């Protein structure tokens, strides 16, 4: 395995595990709610374990969500700014020349997707491992595309 292949595998592992972990936390929360409500039938986690097609469908949906965010002209620059390191919400708004309210809404979208974390007490936004890995993936893909356009090796 070439070094580049190892880096790509690590990047995919970070993205895959991070997205799955976020989703599995939501499944556990749903299981707890169902148990408290006395719901009968399979818990969400049981459905996920016993129905292989469910995991495949959910994985495709979660990856599509990441790609939609990566391609969103409102969210990609914000994700890129956040992936550089933790920063205050007002700094993000200033850097993106957007209202603070617009940035708050966009950060919420990124946080819902597991790409950023916001501390409501300090108004600091930080990248998650998944958010940083997605930016690396976008950069690697753009570099490979540029190299191909120039006629060189990817």
DSSP string, 10-22: HHHHHHHHHHHHH
pLDDT at 153: 63
pLDDT at residue 33 above 60? Answer: yes
Cβ atoms of 31 and 43 within 8 Å: the answer is yes
The number of folded domains in the chain is 1
Q: What tokens appear for 102 in the block?
A: 């617009």
User: Where residue 18 falls among pLDDT bands split at 50, 70, 90?
Assistant: confident
The CA–CA distances, whole Å, from 61 to 23, 57, 76, 86, 114 equal 11, 6, 19, 28, 14
Q: Which CATH number does the domain housing residue 28 bear?
A: 1.10.10.10
Q: At what angle do helices 52-70 and 3-37 cross, to 10 degrees?
A: 110
Which range (33-47, 50-64, 134-148) has the least confidence? 33-47
Confidence of residue 125 (pLDDT cuts 50, 70, 90): very high
pLDDT > 90 fraction of the chain, expressed in percent and rounded: 23
Q: What is the pLDDT of residue 1?
A: 41
User: CA–CA separation, 111 vs 59, rounded Å?
Assistant: 18
Its domain, for residue 18, covers: 3-150
- Higher per-residue confidence, 133 vs 50: 133
């Amino acid at each position: 395995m070439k070094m580049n292949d190892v880096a790509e595998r690590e990047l995919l592992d970070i993205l895959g595990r991070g997205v799955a972990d976020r989703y599995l936390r939501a499944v556990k929360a749903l299981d707890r709610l169902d148990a408290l409500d006395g719901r009968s039938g399979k818990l969400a986690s049981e459905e996920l374990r016993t129905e292989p097609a469910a995991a495949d469908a959910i994985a495709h949906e979660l990856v599509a969500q990441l790609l939609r965010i990566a391609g969103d002209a409102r969210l990609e620059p914000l994700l890129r700014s956040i992936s550089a390191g933790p920063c205050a919400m007002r700094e993000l708004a200033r850097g993106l020349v957007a209202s603070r309210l617009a940035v708050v809404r966009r950060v919420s979208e990124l946080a819902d997707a597991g790409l950023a974390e916001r501390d409501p007490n300090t108004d600091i936004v930080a990248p998650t491992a998944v958010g940083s890995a997605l930016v690396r993936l976008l950069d690697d893909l753009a570099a490979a595309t540029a190299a191909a356009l120039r006629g060189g090796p990817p």
